[in-house]
Structure 1
Amino acid sequence: MASLRSLNRTLRNAQAGAIDPMQVDAPPEENDNNEEDLYEVDIDSFDLDTYANSYIGLARIYRLMYIADHCPRLRSDALRLAISHVITTMNANLYQVLHHKLQQCHGNILADVTGANPVDTGLPVFNAIWVETTTKKSAMILEKLDGDLKNYKSNSIKESIRRGHNEIGDHYVNCGDLIKATKSYSKARDYCTSSSHVISMCLNIIKVGIYLRNWSHVTNYIIKAESTPNYVENPELLTTYSSTLKCMTGLAELAGRKYKLAAQNFLKANFDNWDSCDVMTPNDIAIYGGLCALATFNRLELQNNVICNNSFKLFLELEHEVREAIFKFCEAKYEVCLKMLNKIKPILLLDMYIGSHINQLYSDIRSKAMIQYLCPYDSADLRKMALSSYSFA
């Protein structure tokens, strides 16, 4: 089954040439990320509805697609749910892709809304009329937005022009054309009249870059946002944007397997100022930051930077198992820590950003636990350890 990454690659290839190099400094079609690990997850129970409802927009659909790609038991349900959400957008291409995936999953021809298949499959009906209507409606909306933008330009009102480019970018995201969305968002740069406008423009491009998994592009625009004049000196700007930018940085570092840097950035998030469920939730921040810290921090660092971190503690309270695993590690109860982590491993493997890193992170945590356990001793007999009841598995 084709992965979410292959879908993004197809989108980039189909839309090649859409980026104006004068407007975007690093073309999104240059994806520098390695292929995601191929693995399958077997899980007894998972509340797809609750999970999906934690996210909005493309994040919700892409996460369901990732689950469908990696969990055969949940594949059909995840695709059905993704289809039910994609019809609330104008992404006709993705609607067709999801139906094709569901058809492959069940090995039969899905019912068509025109009534060609009399057999009741119990599967979602492929609505060709919706595809046609949505495609036409999308074109009409784009035509109107383009017309509005031309009027704004004729009146030379910078704020209206900036807003017009953003509205077109939002429309392209809703239609699934992420390359053109990036182009539209970047055009707003010349019409920004405040530091807040510049950072907002960068965030729009960063989020699309995350959807495309173009991490170098994401990093470039994070640097641009944090280099915006008056950003560091302005408490209001820091309060509004700092947590989001730090978490986006953490996500990019996680993708590059720089786990300690990822942890350091996630730990700077402020719980009260987080509002970006179109990428990740507070629960995700707890998981990403907590596991990266557990894999790379020593016990003193965990105590000072995680457990005593008043803001991050609020994130950790949302993920009891991760929080308790960190506490048990700091208490030198390594076996309990590892058992708790193994209990939640199948669920973590279904996360589209940390899933492919879980085996490495768990290996690092296990190695660190063993080193800490052996530290007080002058020597250790591995044969006796293997026969003992104490386990690092």
Structure 2
Amino acid sequence: MSFLSNNVEPMQLDAVEDIELFEANEIPNASVNDVLDRSVESAPFEVESYAAQYSGFAKLSRLLYIADHCPPLQIEALEQALKYVKESTYNVNAYTTIQQKLVNALTASGQTAKAEQYPLDTVWIDEKSKMSQIYFEKLDTDLKNYKTNSIKESIRRGHDDLGAHYLQCGDLSNALKCYSRSRDYCMGDQQLFNICMNIIKVSIYQKSWGHVNSFAQKAESSPECSANSTAQTKISCIVGLHELVTKRYKYAAKRFMSANIDDLGPDFSDILSPNNVAIYGGLCALASLDRSDLHKHVFLSPNFKLFLELEPQLREAIHKFYESKYPVCLSLLDELKDSFMLDMYLAPHLTALYSKIRNRALIQYFSPYLSADLRLMATAFNTSLHDLENELMKLILDGQIKARIDSHNKILYAKDSDQRLETFEKSLAMGREWQMRATSLILRAACVRNGLIFIKAGPNNASSKAAEEAPSSAGNNVAACSPSSPNKPRV
């Protein structure tokens, strides 16, 4: 979204950037298919109530994503985005682009009269451009004065104010630079944490996930995060988002489920909403956790249960999955799929998550039986016999289901397993491993005792003791090695 950058003249500083800016496409394990355009042909929610959950640049980004991927909601999303830009930002470039998109959409849908209600407001453009430049010059002058007077706290505030102004103008790169420069002038743990949060926020907007991970680790290791539950919750959600984007769904689920809903106030709505935490955590838990972990981290968790109250249909789907009512669970998830597809962070991973959930349901459905009728399974999972056989074949080849398919009679048979034999084989393998480790320890102890291995003396280990023991071992016809005898073996 190049139009979200405004052409405000950057402030000239003689400081050299010590931060590496990651490109937006540096996502580990990401494939080209993850960024393909997706289109939703239904209207799964009201745009106004959805946009009310967010603030700042996150609100604008999500509205534009909906406009680009959902034709039925395109006009409403563009109207909300245009209203937000005019009322809350200095982003002139975004305004002109959104206005043009809105007029084109209204014209294409035959609403020519309504399109005339959204003319290009040149007065607003000139006014906001002048105000932005005046405010920028004021902040620039104040920062130069602070640097002249060498007031560290004022210099830090000056960089933060400039970063916030650049963010209001849609200039993410300069906002990130200003927030990064303020690190050199922080004077406490709270300030350091706030700086990390500002950098993380802008990096999320840029989708620089390597940058997000780096500063999330710094913020999590700070004393402020250790002592403040609100800070811990924010960092857990940010790390969970990073794990989701990098396809580490199990770690993402545990991060989201460790959050506390009381700690996610309005100041976090420019990154994620509590509904996002419920959706991301719930889907990742279904896709990656087994029944015991699902019961422990979801149903017995007082914090995450409050998040799920915000998404009652997803909560019901999780309960049905745990109760082994898989057809009902999958049906509920299919009903939610369109709304999930309009989430800019979740959409690229939705197909993979739904596939993992379905595979886990198939595995747990068959686990209590010795044989199962494929026709009944196909009916239960709302699929054809051919597609079900293909799904089961992949699970069998991956070793997730120990079974074989009778394609003629359409029956799935569990492989016969002798649990007594398996237990004996496991015991023998553990015994061989223990014997190998014990032999290795005895051999190493003998080598150390006879001077074939030199151990570096620590601060509490006198090297003279080893030197005194070397002659005695030599008297026992054992060749002791020393650094001065290169012809002798040294391990």
Runs of 4+ in structure 1 deviating by more than 6 angstroms, as ranges, are: 12-16, 18-21
Q: How does 1:317-356 map to 2 (within 5 A)?
A: 317-356=309-348
Output the CA distance in 2 between the equivalents of 1:220 and 1:25: 11
Structure 1 counterpart of 2:406: none
Gaps of 5+ in 2: 384-491
Deviations 1:247-302 (A, max 9, x none): 11111111112111111111111111112001111111000111111111111111
Counterparts of 1:1-393 in structure 2, within 5 Å, are 7-8=1-2, 11=5, 22-29=16-23, 31-33=25-27, 36-88=35-87, 89-107=89-107, 121-228=115-222, 230-231=223-224, 234-235=226-227, 238-275=228-265, 276-386=268-378, 388=379, 390-392=380-382
Q: String of CA shifts for 1:175-234, please: whole Å, max 9, x gaps.
A: 000000000001110111111111110100100011111111111111121233x346x4
Would you say the 8 A contact 1:19–1:27 is kept in 2?
A: no
The CA deviation at 1:14 is 12
Q: CA–CA distance in 2 between the matches of 1:60 and 1:231?
A: 28
CA distance in 1, matches of 2:217, 2:174: 22
Q: What number of residue pairs does the alignment pair up? A: 372
Q: Which amino acid aligns with 2:185?
A: Y
Aligned counterparts of 2:7 and 2:175: Cα–Cα separation in 1: 15
Cross-structure match for 2:420 = none
The structure-2 alpha-carbon separation of the partners of 1:392 and 1:126, relative to structure 1 and needing over 3 Å to count, comes to: same
Counterpart amino acid of residue 97 in structure 2: V
> Aligned AA for 2:96?
Q
What is the TM-score with the length of structure 2 in the denominator? 0.71
In 1, the alpha carbon distance for the partners of 2:37 and 2:8 equals: 25
Deviation of the 1:11 alpha carbon: 4.9
Distance verdict in 2 for CA 1:58–1:202, change over 3 Å: same
1:128-155 deviation line (CA, Å, top 9, x unaligned): 2212221121111010011111122222
Once residues 15 and 381 of structure 1 are traced to their aligned partners in structure 2, the CA distance between those partners, rounded to angstroms, is: 70
Shift of 1:379: 2.8
Paired letter, 2:157: R
Q: Percent identity?
A: 43
Task: In structure 2, give the amino acid aligned to 1:202.
Answer: C
Code of the aligned partner of 2:206: L
**CA distance in structure 2 between the partners assigned to 1:119 and 1:285 by the alignment:** 41
CA RMSD of aligned residues (A): 2.6
Q: How big is the shift at 1:343?
A: 1.3
* Conserved? CA contact 2:4–2:93, under 8 Å: no
Tell me the CA shift for residue 105 of structure 1: 2.6
Q: What letter is aligned with 1:331?
A: E
Q: In structure 2, what is the equivalent of residue 111 of structure 1?
A: none
**Counterpart secondary structure, 1:269:** coil
Where does structure 1 lack aligned partners over 5 or more consecutive residues? 1-6, 109-117
- What is the CA-CA distance between 1:334 and the residue it aligns to? 0.9
Calculate the TM-score normalised by the size of structure 1. Answer: 0.88
